[in-house]
Amino acid sequence: MDDLQPLLDGQLRYYRARAPEYDEVYAERSFRSLTGLVDDLPVGGDVLELACGTGQWTVRLARAGRSRSLTAVDGAPEMLGIARGRLEAEGLTATFEEADLFTWRPSRRYDTVFFAFWLSHVPPARFAAFWAMLADAVAGGGRVVFVDTDAGERASERAAPGGRDTVLRRLRDGSEHEVVKLFHDAAGLAAELAKLGWTAQVDPTGEGFIKGVATLTDRSARD
Ligand X SMILES: C[S@@+](CC[C@H](N)C(=O)[O-])C[C@H]1O[C@@H](n2cnc3c(N)ncnc32)[C@H](O)[C@@H]1O
Which residues 6+ apart lie within 8 Å of 209 measured at CB? 30, 34, 37, 147, 148, 149, 150
For the CB of residue 22, give the shortest distance to ligand X in the complex, in Å. 7
Phi, psi (degrees; rounded to nearest 5) at 151: -55, -35
**Residue 41 interacting with ligand X (CB under 6 A):** no
| Structure letter (DSSP) for residue 103 | T
Q: How many H-runs (helices) and E-runs (strands) does the chain carry?
A: 6, 10
Nearer to ligand X (CB atom), residue 35 or residue 199: 35
The residue among 168 and 194 lying less far from ligand X, judged by its C-beta, is 168
**Residues 87/94, Cβ–Cβ less than 8 Å:** yes
Phi and psi at 157, nearest 5°, equal -120, 160
Nearer to ligand X, 102 or 197 (CB): 102
Cβ–Cβ under 8 Å, residues 52 and 80: yes
Among 43, 62, 75, 200, contact with ligand X (rule: CB under 6 A): 75
- 56, 71, 149, 166: which one binds ligand X (CB under 6 A): 56
What is the DSSP pairing of strand 110-116 with strand 166-170?
unpaired
Compute the Cα dihedral for 137, 37, 63, 100 and give only its sign. Answer: positive
CB of 113 or CB of 116, closer to ligand X: 116
Pick the piece of the chain touching ligand X (CB under 6 A) from 73-81, 85-93, 159-167, 200-208: 73-81
Site for ligand X contains 113 (CB under 6 A): no
Q: Name the nearest CA neighbour of 80 among 105, 57, 55.
A: 55
The only residue of 38, 60, 102, 209 in contact with ligand X, by rule CB under 6 A = 102
CB of 21: closest distance to ligand X in angstroms? Answer: 12
Q: Which stretch binds ligand X (CB under 6 A): 48-56, 60-68, 154-162, 187-195?
A: 48-56
- Residue 182's Cβ-side half-sphere holds a number of Cα atoms within 13 Å equal to 16
| Residue 149 lies near ligand X (rule: CB under 6 A) | no
Number of residues that bind ligand X (CB under 6 A): 20
Of 37, 116, 133, 214, the one binding ligand X (CB under 6 A) is 116
CA 23 from centre of chain:
15
Closest to ligand X by CB, 59 or 197: 59
Residue with CB nearest ligand X?
53
Task: Check residue 197 for interaction with ligand X (CB under 6 A).
Answer: no
